[in-house]
Structure 1
Amino acid sequence: MVEPESRPGRGDKVGLLGRQVECAVLDRLLDAVRTGESRALVIHGPPGIGKSALLGHLMDAPGDLRALRAVGIESEMELPFATLHQLCVPLVDRLSHLPTPQRTALETVFGIRAGPPPDRFLVGMAVLSLLSDASQKRPLLCLVDDAHWMDRASAQVLGFVARRLLAESIALVFGARERTRDLLGLPDLEVTGLRDAAAHALLESATHTRLDHDILSRFVAETQGNPLALLELPRALSVTQLAGGFGLLNTDTLPGLIEQSFLCRIEEFPAQTRLLLLVAAAEPVGDPALVWRAARRLGVAPEEALADGTDGLLSFDVSVTFRHPLVRSAVYRSATESERRSAHLALAEATDPRVDPDRRAWHLASATAGPDEAVAAELERSAGRAQARGGLAAAAAFLQRSVVLTVAPSRRADRAVAAADASLQAGDLDAARRFVDVADQNAQSDFQRVRADLVRSQVIFAAGLNREAPPLLLAAARRLERFDANLARETYLLAWGTSALVAADGDSLAAISQAMRGLAPPPAAPRALDLVTEGYALLVTEGRATAVPVLRRAADALADLPPDDLLKWGWVANGVSAAVWDDRAMRALYGRTVEVVRAAGALTELPFCLASLGMATTWTGDFTGARAIVDEADIVAAATGVPLAPHVKLRLGALSGHTSEVEPLISATVEEAGASGQLMGVTVAEWSAAVLYNGLARYEQARAAAQTSAGIPELWVSVWVLPELVEAAVRVGDAMAARGALERLTDAAEPCDTDWAHGILARSQALVSEGAAADGLYRRAVDRLARTQLRPELARAHLVYGEWLRRERRRVEAREHLRTAHKMFASIGMEAFAERARRELLASGESIRKHKLKSSFGDELTPQEKQIALLVRDGFSNPEVGSRLFLSPRTVEWHLRKIFTKLSITSRRQLRDALPRNAYEPSPEQGFRG
């Protein structure tokens, strides 16, 4: 029911009865999109409340906007990207405009090409770019009705896109019964019942007899002003029920009432019409040809089925459309199980297996009453195709249904393991646990049981870093040895890596390492996996001196590690170069890992890889580059929902000497990481505290923090903290602690023939030495560290040498080293250490004003603007910047205009002068930024 109304800017137009406020909100949304802004909105409310009508109001907007529309369908919720495909089909001709990785991702999920499953966030970035490109010609209006029935893959992607709309002239509007988890946080418009006057008018329009005002008021109150209920319920009631007001007594929920109203109308149809409605309800695509083919198989003739029409409940046009989703559900639920199976079987037989094999398989599964190996196998093949398109949730659903239909226990065990693994990848840990149990119950061989155990341990680890996973992975690896040597070796390596992250004592890591030592010898030409496994095992069981030769060979082999292996277990192997103190190899490997992860679109892994690269970059003194990397990691982590530990922020804050920022972060990290058993987090926090307090010359606090982290059985950071403990202990006169730490540092660094290892070791040895021996060691430390790119460590070597020379009354030489240290610290941004050097210079007799450290470039820019400015300065195009920062190219351009204004420049070229590199910032071709 409509009434005429006029709204400014829209001309005389028919408006929705009683929806002036809601229509005004939508009109403002359209006006914003027309002026170059973007908007996202979730219109939500109960069934029949008028959400679809409001979306129709948007569709009626003048033709200066291009409209795309999709509808979520309950029976399609397991088909990956079904809703997304509906929405984007009209834009397929524009795929060629996208960057290659994004184009490939969309072509894969839409079935245009075969390929490995793309990361869902890469798909999201591709959709954002596609919509942004399409909106350049004219504003774009994207509507998704019944969004609560979107398949999960589409919901994740469209929720991702909606959160990143800014300056693209795009409106993305969802109609949903409730805000689903993928749409939480988006602007919303709750639709409630009509107010009394409008509700009375609508109800009177639907009744053919004059009713008492009190009766009308009761209907309005009982239906809570729900427009569909006001229109439909009177049609299901007799005149007596209406007039007496008894029609709503002894009723269930309002949706149930409305559905019952539809059922009453459906029951009056001839048998052939009811059967036609059932076929249409079971067929989610709305393809008229397919519906009629299936209906004919059930003996339905069009001329008979539609002889008296369908009372407006079903219409045949370009597509088959029900008046309301409640009509579809009423039809489907009112049918018997046998009738539903017959409808699905007819649809399966009418579906071309070459064109749509997955929907055919799903119909066959719905048509099957009991176990059926042929259908189970068909579902298994559909799961493979779904995985290839990145539809992990759909693959899990296909496999889960396949398990139910499988006859033989052995096949059921295999499929249950696959279903558990797919559920794990899709993030459904409860389903993964259930199907692991099914696999265990049906396993007919030890290999099947161990495969189930492997998935079970991975589920436990995925549920949170904890101490349960390493022993389970160890047990699985041991049992896998006699079945699959490669898989066993990979599982041992994963067990070792998880134990290194979370074990609170060395027992678990030692047991895993001993088991790895017992593996069969690698072949004559060992692979990277063989060398990493052997090297790590030796590191724990025999010590660094024995392990270093193997680990060096492993580091060389990792430089050419295939991308698939890098993605699978590279996160564990990346510690090899740090274990042998090879800073160049460490940065190169971390940089390559970021490149591989980017190219693969594995965006859920990217934050961790960026964090590793950021940490490696802090060692060079490129704080600007490190901050840019950690800012990008934060952006990706926020976009993907991946929690990211603040390790790089701790390191940067400690080196910079920003006490007010880093001390609360240290305390919070120690508490949170300690409570969850994350060994690495506690160690990094205490190491950062030791560095911070050494810079501030608060040596007692530095010693306490360093002793805590040095005592943790961790293999990397607990070694890096030893130089901090030596320095702090020497300054407070704790000779025993200093020499104990130096002894451990010698064992860790001396076998590694690198400038990093020997430079740090010489600097620490000099601190506990005297006379000519100390002087020679300080010179060696400066010489060896000067050959590296570890600027902070070289500056600290000059500082401690200068401090020693001043105490030796060699003031002229002292000033030379202290001036060098002070200049380097100031240039890098190590404020606390710079002040420590300044005080030493004053004590040496040199008059020096307190150095005012240069503020970071572009301080007027926001963190995101800095990210964009840096990337554009380094030659990245707008699409490339957008891909990294999850922004559309048009939004990047919008930010650039703001950046140019803030920096008082007018072109991309001028960014090089406005944002100059410092002396310690690597260029992009050096690979530090990935």
Structure 2
Amino acid sequence: MLLGRRPERAVFDRLVEAVRAGESRALVVHGDPGIGKSALLDYLTGRATGCRMVHAAGIQSEMELAFALLHQVCAPFVDRVDDLPEPQRDALSTALGMRAGPPPDRFRVGLAVLSLLAEVAMERPLVCVVDDALWVDHASLQALAFAARRLRAESVAIVFATRPPGPAELAGLPVLDLTGLAEDDARVLLRAVLPGPLDDPVRDRIVAEARGNPLALLELRPAPGNYGEAPLPARMEHHYRNQLATLGESTRLLVLVAAADPTGNPVLLWRAAQRLGIPASALAPAAAAGLIEVGSQVRFRHPLVRSAIYQAAPADERRRAHAALAAATDPEADTARHAWHAGQAVDGPDDDIAERLEHSAGLALACGGLAAAASFLRRSAELTGDPARRTRRTLAAAKRSLEAGATDDALGLVAVAEADRLDDARRAGAHLIRARAVFAVNRDATASPLLRAAAAELEPFAPELARTTYLEAISAAMFAAGLVGDQLTEAARAARAGPIAPLPARAEDLLLDGLAVRFTDGYAAGVPLLRQAVQAFRDPGTAGPEAVRWLWLACTASTHVWDYDSWVVLSDRFVLLARDTGALASLPAALNARMSAHVLAGDLTAAAALRGELRAATEATTVRPFLPLGDLLLAAWRGVASDAAVLADGTATEARSRGEGAGLVAPAWALAIVHNSRGEHEEAIAAAEAGDQEVAVLGFPPWGILVELVEAAVLAGQPDRAEAALRRLTVATDAAGTPWARGLAARSRALTTPGPEAETHYREAMERLAQTRLTGELARSRLVYGEWLGRTGRGADARTQLRLAHDEFGQRGMDAFAERAARALKEIGETTQRRAPVPTGRLTAQEAQIARLAREGLSNPEIGERLFLSPRTVEWHLRKIFAKLGISSRRDLRH
């Protein structure tokens, strides 16, 4: 009976209709225990006729096993895994233990799940139901939530049921909140299940205290006097424990074994029961009481039954149950479960089991189960007698917890390790984990001193790790710069006093030395070393998977030395490595760097194309880039003031809340560009000075804001401000000496130079910038030169430069700069015509991105990999694209 659930049933009816029509849906059903989630899922199963159903359920005791629930979901389709695109096939096969390989990226596993479900749904619509999501292992939940977020047109529905507020992994998905039944419906339900009449006061009390919870009405109706103030789950568990207490000892032990086994395998249950001497007849009383059902699967009437039975059992009986399950589990075929049961079967140190648990942690890690590896290591440490080995395993568990994103667990384990007597090396390792956990939570002023201290402690034991940690300390100080004291100089001085680089030096060693010198002895002293570091990162020999970690900082270093070509090479490599190695958590930062390089080259079309992928990566991985500089610069150079203002305000607000002072520079720079493009030079001065930092730290380039300040101040009639900014700018540009640096310095010098001498600098700026790919900056130099020529009465020469600038801006979509050039032409008596918009057939942003990738020759699976979509969704989008553009094939996209 589903009394009072008409609106909820309508939600499921619409979901099934959509899936049958070729659409996809994701839904999270929130509700307290007993509120009717499972009953509604049964309703969904009954309504989904003609659909393929997959049922899976989280089990509390199985939360420690990596991809445990994913095995349930994928088991019916395991023969289809080989049909997936190769990177996804390898990731999912490794996660499911079907092949050996490096630990797969969790986002790529999620993409593989999405593609697998989409392939299966091509035969008939697919509905995947995940009950008790609160108890699903982290790796499986991340993969399924990833897939649910990327569903589009696959004829797939994924429905999760969980207690509110639900796991963090499901945040943002559509939610159906279940509340209690209305009082009238509750009375109808109570009358339907009561065996006889009930006094009105008793009935009213039951209805009131059940608060509309159907399970409470069904289960607790005979004993209203047992109601109290305890939460309903606790009262339900108490009720089930009372039922269990009336059964015999053998029955209670059999039911306990079933509760301790997450697989629900009846063969395993009877094998364990035989080892405990429990007869088959022991099942009958529990089955008659409705607590358990043993058929092809072992099922409990309600998850609360399982938890009540397990929690109510004495500790020694739980250990007996786990020991029997360990003995009944094949250690070769199911190593992880065997080790886990064995670990729960002892209450004191057991080095043999601890070794097996540590081995199982390695197996979990190999298939990408970081959280599971941490759990195995934690239990292994608890069972380790030797203090030194116990500490080592505890710290290993803390490290894996941190890598899994469980920073609180990591810090708790560090505290446990520190409770033992640590030697200096282990203490240094503990402090490093704590410092990295702090930095993972917030890149504010807290992290750098902790990293610096950990690096100093590591020096005697692990000098290379110490140097890496010093680099982390400097990068953390770079993020916080502008809102704190002199942390950056302190970190740089500590690094210079630390271990020297090994020979041959690693690329990251050169980067550390360059940054350390740059932030102690000044920019000019650091340039040669930073240039060496950039060249080292450009070497193909440094293009391995480990390079992903530092490529974002290498990209930043290339802009510090004004080396645009290296910026392009390194940002390209960053994107390719993040894609190819499956390091998708780094992909937003990589795309952000590459997008910014495109914008400064004036290729706004290429930047906009990456914008779609950046948004897809950010949405799919829930990882935001450090700074949304690509989006900021794109909006700024397009001259879309409203977009730039909203984005800049949001970025600055977030940067302040996170304590990331460096995050205040990029929004100010973007706004200064917008205002200068629109001729709003007073506003540009205010924007630039709001984000100006004495020590330029992060940015592409970090001195870009000074270039804007010089132009704005000159054109606003404030030469003193312009001269001060120019002096600071030329310190960097003179030391760098690249065409990019010298070109912008010459333009800025031309703006501040009175009289005819300015022309020499304008021409130098254009000559220098013509040697680069920075066509936008070259066009800006023509613009300010043309404006100067117009002011000096040289209309014909001004017309030439302004026409070139106007056409360049117009062709590249730099509309505000184009309008500024048009105004300057109008002042000398010239008119311009507006460019006709290019017809696109009203493609959406995602359709335009897919069209571009298809035009480049990427296959549907390759496009899906790039945009975190299933190949079937890509095909669906292409059909819409062809219809909108009036074409019939991919070949036509080239035109």
Alignment CA distance shift 1:274-1:414 (3 Å): same
Q: Aligned letter for 1:148?
A: L
The residue that corresponds to 1:508 in the other structure is 487
Q: 1:321 aligns with which of 299, 313, 320?
A: 299
Q: 1:285 aligns with which of 263, 272, 279?
A: 263
Q: Aligned letter for 1:649?
A: D
* 1:11-30 Cα shifts (integer Å, max 9, x gaps): xxxxx677666545433432
Shift of 1:130: 0.6
Q: What is the distance in 2 between the residues matched to 1:675 and 1:216?
A: 53
Correspondence 1:812 to 2:812: no
The residue that corresponds to 2:151 in the other structure is 165
Alignment CA distance shift 1:723-1:230 (3 Å): closer
Correspondence 1:417 to 2:424: no
Q: Judge conservation of contact 1:647–1:681 (CA < 8 Å) in 2.
A: no
Q: Aligned letter for 2:435?
A: S
Alignment CA distance shift 1:486-1:42 (3 Å): same
The residue that corresponds to 1:583 in the other structure is 564
Shift of 1:253: 4.8
Alignment CA distance shift 1:702-1:319 (3 Å): same
Q: 1:861 aligns with which of 843, 847, 853?
A: 843
Shift of 1:70: 0.8
Q: 2:680 aligns with which of 693, 698, 716?
A: 698
Q: What is the distance in 2 between the residues matched to 1:346 and 1:803?
A: 87
Q: Greater CA deviation, 659-668 or 447-456? A: 659-668
Alignment CA distance shift 1:341-1:625 (3 Å): same
Q: What is the distance in 1 between the residues matched to 2:212 and 2:685?
A: 71
Correspondence 1:393 to 2:374: no
Q: Aligned letter for 2:607?
A: A
Which structure 2 residues correspond to residues 478-627 of structure 1 after superposition, within 5 A?
Answer: 478-504=456-482, 507-523=486-502, 525-559=504-538, 560=540, 561-627=542-608
Question: What is the DSSP-based 3-state SS (H/G/I as helix, E as strand, rest coil) of the residue aligned with 2:293?
Answer: strand
Question: What is the DSSP-based 3-state SS (H/G/I as helix, E as strand, rest coil) of the residue aligned with 2:278?
Answer: coil
Q: What is the distance in 2 between the residues matched to 1:249 and 1:788?
A: 79
Correspondence 1:658 to 2:640: yes
Q: 1:363 aligns with which of 341, 348, 366?
A: 341
Question: What is the DSSP-based 3-state SS (H/G/I as helix, E as strand, rest coil) of the residue aligned with 1:604?
Answer: helix
Question: What is the DSSP-based 3-state SS (H/G/I as helix, E as strand, rest coil) of the residue aligned with 2:140?
Answer: helix
Q: What is the distance in 2 between the residues matched to 1:771 and 1:162?
A: 65
Q: Judge conservation of contact 1:690–1:724 (CA < 8 Å) in 2.
A: yes
Q: 1:765 aligns with which of 743, 749, 753?
A: 749
Q: Judge conservation of contact 1:18–1:198 (CA < 8 Å) in 2.
A: yes
The residue that corresponds to 1:789 in the other structure is 773
Q: Judge conservation of contact 2:459–2:499 (CA < 8 Å) in 1.
A: no
Question: What is the DSSP-based 3-state SS (H/G/I as helix, E as strand, rest coil) of the residue aligned with 1:876?
Answer: coil
Alignment CA distance shift 1:798-1:65 (3 Å): same
Question: What is the DSSP-based 3-state SS (H/G/I as helix, E as strand, rest coil) of the residue aligned with 1:69?
Answer: strand
* 1:100-156 Cα shifts (integer Å, max 9, x gaps): 121111112111123333232222111111100100011112122222322222223
Q: What is the distance in 2 between the residues matched to 1:437 and 1:257?
A: 35
Shift of 1:544: 3.7
* 1:327-361 Cα shifts (integer Å, max 9, x gaps): 32232233211111111111112222212222222
The residue that corresponds to 1:95 in the other structure is 81
Q: Judge conservation of contact 1:729–1:738 (CA < 8 Å) in 2.
A: yes
Alignment CA distance shift 1:50-1:656 (3 Å): closer
Q: Aligned letter for 2:253?
A: L
Correspondence 1:270 to 2:256: no
CA RMSD of aligned residues (A): 2.9
Q: Aligned letter for 1:373?
A: D
Q: Judge conservation of contact 1:679–1:714 (CA < 8 Å) in 2.
A: no
Q: Aligned letter for 2:563?
A: D
* 1:79-119 Cα shifts (integer Å, max 9, x gaps): 22211211111111111121112111111211112333323
Q: Aligned letter for 2:62?
A: E
Which structure 2 residues correspond to residues 236-247 of structure 1 after superposition, within 5 A?
Answer: none
Q: Judge conservation of contact 2:543–2:573 (CA < 8 Å) in 1.
A: no
The residue that corresponds to 1:475 in the other structure is 453
Shift of 1:590: 0.6
Q: Aligned letter for 2:166?
A: T
Which structure 2 residues correspond to residues 863-878 of structure 1 after superposition, within 5 A?
Answer: 863-878=845-860
The residue that corresponds to 1:466 in the other structure is 444
Q: 1:752 aligns with which of 706, 724, 736?
A: 736
Q: Judge conservation of contact 2:559–2:702 (CA < 8 Å) in 1.
A: no
Q: What is the distance in 1 between the residues matched to 2:772 and 2:115?
A: 42
Q: What is the distance in 1 between the residues matched to 2:657 and 2:16?
A: 49
Q: What is the distance in 1 between the residues matched to 2:518 and 2:440?
A: 27
Q: What is the distance in 1 between the residues matched to 2:50 and 2:770?
A: 64
Q: What is the distance in 2 between the residues matched to 1:195 and 1:731?
A: 70
Q: What is the distance in 2 between the residues matched to 1:886 and 1:27?
A: 28
Q: Judge conservation of contact 1:493–1:572 (CA < 8 Å) in 2.
A: no
Which structure 2 residues correspond to residues 825-864 of structure 1 after superposition, within 5 A?
Answer: 825-845=809-829, 847-849=830-832, 851-855=833-837, 858=840, 860-864=842-846
The residue that corresponds to 2:170 in the other structure is 183
The residue that corresponds to 1:633 in the other structure is 614
Q: Aligned letter for 1:550?
A: L
Q: What is the distance in 2 between the residues matched to 1:487 and 1:627?
A: 39
The residue that corresponds to 2:325 in the other structure is 347
Q: What is the distance in 1 between the residues matched to 2:891 and 2:798?
A: 44
Q: What is the distance in 1 between the residues matched to 2:481 and 2:156?
A: 49
Alignment CA distance shift 1:366-1:232 (3 Å): same
Alignment CA distance shift 1:757-1:142 (3 Å): same
Q: What is the distance in 2 between the residues matched to 1:531 and 1:325?
A: 57
* 1:139-192 Cα shifts (integer Å, max 9, x gaps): 112122222322222223222322332321122223334351333444444455
Alignment CA distance shift 1:720-1:367 (3 Å): same
Question: What is the DSSP-based 3-state SS (H/G/I as helix, E as strand, rest coil) of the residue aligned with 2:606?
Answer: helix
Q: What is the distance in 1 between the residues matched to 2:507 and 2:71?
A: 41
* 1:535-573 Cα shifts (integer Å, max 9, x gaps): 222222333443333322222210222433322233222
Shift of 1:691: 2.2
Shift of 1:509: 1.8
Q: Aligned letter for 2:592?
A: A
Correspondence 1:384 to 2:362: yes
The residue that corresponds to 2:276 in the other structure is 298
Q: Aligned letter for 1:563?
A: G
Q: Judge conservation of contact 2:601–2:773 (CA < 8 Å) in 1.
A: yes
Q: What is the distance in 2 between the residues matched to 1:125 and 1:471?
A: 38
Q: Which runs of 5+ in 1 are unaligned?
A: 3-15, 914-930
Correspondence 1:134 to 2:120: yes
Correspondence 1:689 to 2:655: no
Q: Aligned letter for 2:333?
A: V
Question: What is the DSSP-based 3-state SS (H/G/I as helix, E as strand, rest coil) of the residue aligned with 1:37?
Answer: coil
Q: Judge conservation of contact 2:444–2:479 (CA < 8 Å) in 1.
A: no
Alignment CA distance shift 1:797-1:233 (3 Å): closer
Q: Which runs of 5+ in 2 are unaligned?
A: none
Q: Aligned letter for 1:814?
A: A
Q: What is the distance in 1 between the residues matched to 2:565 and 2:131?
A: 54
Q: What is the distance in 2 between the residues matched to 1:184 and 1:597?
A: 25
TM-score (structure 2 length as normaliser): 0.92
Q: What is the count of residue pairs matched by the alignment?
A: 888
Instruction: State, as a whole percentage, how many aligned pairs show the same letter.
Output: 48
Alignment CA distance shift 1:83-1:670 (3 Å): closer
Q: Aligned letter for 2:844?
A: T
Alignment CA distance shift 1:718-1:247 (3 Å): closer
